[in-house]
């Protein structure tokens, strides 16, 4: 779900700004990033609910949310090649995508609760 949202947002951002970052961020990297983050989140959730039982889900939501906010610095600090036009628009593309996995998790997770 997060990978689909990221790819849709990538296309919307391209059509809105007409700036192409496909040599840096392409659909394959977006899918790979979201799968990696989602698998890591699943392992973290499993570990926290195993160790903290009843409070594991709350601890996970807190850690995942804070971690997502902390990861905002990654696209802001990313150095683009000098040949890339409009480097100032790159954070506008990538910063919202940092939150897509956590939003997807918090949207889908209640559907699997008893």
Per-residue pLDDT of the chain (114 residues; tens, 9 = 90+): 899 999 999 999 999 999 999 888 999 999 999 999 999 999 999 999 999 988 999 999 999 999 999 999 988 898 888 888 898 899 999 999 999 999 999 899 888 876
Q: What is the pTM of this model?
A: 0.82
Two tokens, residue 70: 């902390």
CA-closest candidate to residue 89, choices 99, 98, 80? 80
Two tokens, residue 55: 């409070």
CA distance 68 to 37: 10
CA distance 92 to 78: 13
């Amino acid at each position: 779900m997060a990978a689909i949202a990221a790819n849709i947002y990538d296309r919307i951002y391209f059509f809105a700004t007409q700036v192409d970052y496909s040599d840096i961020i392409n659909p394959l990297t977006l899918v790979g990033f979201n799968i990696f983050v989602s698998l890591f989140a699943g392992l973290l959730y499993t570990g926290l609910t195993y160790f903290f039982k009843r409070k594991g889900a709350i601890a996970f939501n807190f850690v995942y949310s804070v971690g997502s906010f902390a990861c905002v610095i990654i696209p802001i600090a990313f150095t683009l090649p000098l040949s890339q036009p409009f480097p100032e628009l790159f954070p506008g593309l990538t910063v919202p995508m940092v939150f897509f996995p956590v939003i997807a998790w918090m949207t889908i997770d209640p559907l699997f609760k008893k």
